[in-house]
Structure 1
Amino acid sequence: MLTKTRYSLKDMVLWTRAETLFFVLYALLITFLYEAMGFVFIDMPWTPIALVGTAVAFIVGFQNNAAYGRIWEARKIWGGMVNTSRSWGMMIQAMLSNEYAKEPLSDDEIKEHKQQLIYRHIAWLTALRHAMRQGKKWEVFEKHRTNREWSRMAYIPERVTSLNDDLLMYLGPEEHQYVMQKDNKAAAILYLQSSHLKDLKEKKIIWEFSFLELEQKLSELFDLQGKSERIKNFPYPRQYATLSHQFVWLFLLMLPLALVSEFETIAQKVQSSFPLADTYFVWLAVPFCGAVSWIFHTMMRIGTVGENPFEGSANDVPISTIARGIERDLRQLMDEDVEAIPSQFPEKFHVQM
């Protein structure tokens, strides 16, 4: 997620430089063929193309609204994980005690149980963020060259360390082996949490009412995980995405065919006042077509990269940063040594991942 206040025009031009160059060269070719070579038959009437442009604008606007809706929903889901995780840590600290225990445990043993439940929760966050970063067939972000350039420059933690190595930091050997055998590793970790709570309830380390409250928190975590998986596993409808892409390109390819003759018509109207306009004014269609094409295409690309808010683009939900922030909060509240708590993931180019 971008942390700087705005994109600069330079950023946007660099991101779309290949297409921008194509649009300018294409408009230059059409203008050359029409003006210098006399291929006036390539002229197209402006009215139908304007109508197509209006329809395309509506389609692109719909795509951008839908993409933003997916991003905003994902951000609310992960914001809910922050709140539920803090409640989980607070309840674990307060509800594990010897007050009703059949066989009281030592303070160190109770502290160990608390740490296991907190660390297992961090493992759940770790497994979930790794699952959200896994590529899907319909995700198209890295199919574009400049997007791949961004991915190579950005710091995406899930591509730096493997899930297997990350989970070793929070799970014991037996639990680690159990979780890695499952398809849905995050769900497997929550099952381990529930089993651990049940054992503590039977030993009266957790009161029955407290057990129900903690189980309710696990249910909330399952709910949040399912919502996040729903966005990840259900793409923006491909018929809308595909048609939007095709319609935009159809409009952009037709645009110079109509604008060149429009600029020639303007030149003829002003040639009495500006004699040189009849000769050179038509060439202004080249930068004008380039600018209009750049705007439409850039808006389409913005909508495309926003369809899947966990791929790792600059405008995605920063799930890695959120998960690491939760980990730091929980471990600090357990009064762990500051040096032992991992630092927040670094920002590169003012972007959190």
Structure 2
Amino acid sequence: MYTKKTYSTLQMAIWTRYETLLFTIIILAVVAAYYFLDLAWLKIPWTPLALIGTAVAFVIGFQNNSAYGRIWEARKIWGGIVNTSRTFGMFVQDMLTNEHTQKPVADKVLQSEIKTLTYRHIAWMTALRHAMRALKPWETTTNHRTNREWDTKPPELGVDLKDDLAPYLTSEDLADILKKDNKQTALLYQQSHHLRKLKEQGVIWEFSFLELEGVLQELFTLQGKSERIKNFPYPRHFATLNHFFMWIFVLLLPLALVPQFGEIGSEIAEKYPLIGNLFVWVCVPFYIIVAWIFHTMERIGRTGENPFEGTANDVPISTIARGIEIDLRQNLGEDKDSIPKQFPMKHDTQF
């Protein structure tokens, strides 16, 4: 039976298997040339290679730190959306009353208004997560064959936005929203206009109106922060050069590693001729390990650059948004059977 840690390690090995095979071919070709063709002269000194390796390690570390920073910021933004959404749901339910109306409104009408505002908020989250999942030209991680074979596409890529918004909006509101380029912004404008009308009717007290407008302002802020990460990529000159530097190091490494093992083998051959003669082949696993570590760390950094792309390492905004929807609709008193279920996990991964 696999433990979670063992299963994750196995997944990582499968995820990088093509590159591992390439590293194996590279080192076997160099060792074979060195061993059978007597190319002992084909080598480079360790000093310049060590400098290159150090520089590559620094830039990969910088890339990974930057990528993790983007992921963590995105997670905090959507954590803010969770908290603000729950606050909005609570305010809407308790601030729409007949306390300040000149002509009391029927309870059914009040509940209908509360439901409309709550459902429009769910529509806002739906439009926002669809916007965050729209692929940008620089988002290419999902194109890698080992990412495609896991079938880890987020839910937004298989559903049209219009169909996702339809259950939460009236036909008039939906038609108006679909005309707009930034649909999530248009939905917040609709919320504000609706709240103003309710304030004019006296259903919402003026102070409550200001509180609700403050919540909408916070939602605008969180939306803008999320869009900033989505629309501003990790600087491409850093990302591209990191990739090239890593491959330069990986391709030059055998020219220093193989001769070094050959020299050690020559020393061993003085006492153990057979072992010393074959010792150069011992560098094969060492090279594969070093090359795999550098490549995998660089690839992890590339994978984490765009936290909304929809890969296994990204922020699970679909799951977060659906969780908020479930909370809001349950607190409206809806039956659990009428509320959509949480999106299922794929390969122990949320999306």
Structures share fold, TM-score greater than 0.5: yes
Q: Counterpart in 2 of 1:205? A: 203
Letter in 1 for 2:313: N
Say which of 179, 184, 192 aligns to 1:186: 184
Say which of 256, 262, 265 aligns to 2:263: 265
Q: Counterpart in 2 of 1:87? A: 87
Q: Counterpart in 1 of 2:165? A: 167
Flag the 1:284–1:5 CA change in 2: closer, same or farther, 3 A: closer
Highest RCO, 1 vs 2 (Cα 8 Å, sep ≥ 6)? 1
Give the root-mean-square deviation of aligned CA atoms.
Answer: 1.2
TM alignment of 1:156-305, pairs within 5 A: 156-305=154-303
- Identical aligned residues as a percent: 58
Is this contact kept in 2: 1:331–1:341, CA < 8 A? yes
**Structure 1 unpaired stretches of 5+:** none
Q: 1:309-342 deviations in whole A, cap 9, x for unaligned?
A: 0111111100000000000000001111111111
Say which of 289, 305, 308 aligns to 2:306: 308
Q: 1:87-135 deviations in whole A, cap 9, x for unaligned?
A: 0000000000111112221110000000000000000000000000000
TM-score by length of 1: 0.96
**Structure 2 unpaired stretches of 5+:** none
Q: Counterpart in 1 of 2:123? A: 123
> 1:241 Cα shift?
0.4
Is this contact kept in 2: 1:30–1:256, CA < 8 A? yes
Q: Counterpart in 2 of 1:63? A: 63
Letter in 1 for 2:23: F
CA separation in 2, counterparts of 1:289 and 1:143?
Answer: 28
> 1:155 Cα shift?
5.0
> What secondary structure sits across from 2:168 in the alignment?
coil
Is this contact kept in 2: 1:155–1:348, CA < 8 A? no
Deviates more, 1:6-15 or 1:209-218: 6-15
Letter in 1 for 2:142: E
Is this contact kept in 1: 2:20–2:288, CA < 8 A? yes
CA separation in 1, counterparts of 2:260 and 2:72?
Answer: 42
Flag the 1:7–1:131 CA change in 2: closer, same or farther, 3 A: farther
Letter in 2 for 1:336: E
Is this contact kept in 2: 1:98–1:105, CA < 8 A? yes
Q: Counterpart in 2 of 1:8? A: 8
Letter in 2 for 1:58: F
Letter in 2 for 1:125: M
> What secondary structure sits across from 1:8 in the alignment?
helix
> 1:304 Cα shift?
0.2
CA separation in 1, counterparts of 2:12 and 2:105?
Answer: 61
Q: Counterpart in 1 of 2:346? A: 348
Is this contact kept in 2: 1:155–1:347, CA < 8 A? no
Is this contact kept in 2: 1:259–1:289, CA < 8 A? yes
Q: 1:137-164 deviations in whole A, cap 9, x for unaligned?
A: 11121232112223xx225110121111
TM-score by length of 2: 0.97
Say which of 314, 317, 320 aligns to 2:318: 320
> 1:274 Cα shift?
2.6
Deviates more, 1:62-71 or 1:153-162: 153-162
Q: Counterpart in 1 of 2:100? A: 100
Residue-pair matches, total? 348
Is this contact kept in 2: 1:155–1:346, CA < 8 A? no
Letter in 2 for 1:11: Q
Is this contact kept in 1: 2:153–2:310, CA < 8 A? no
> 1:39 Cα shift?
2.4
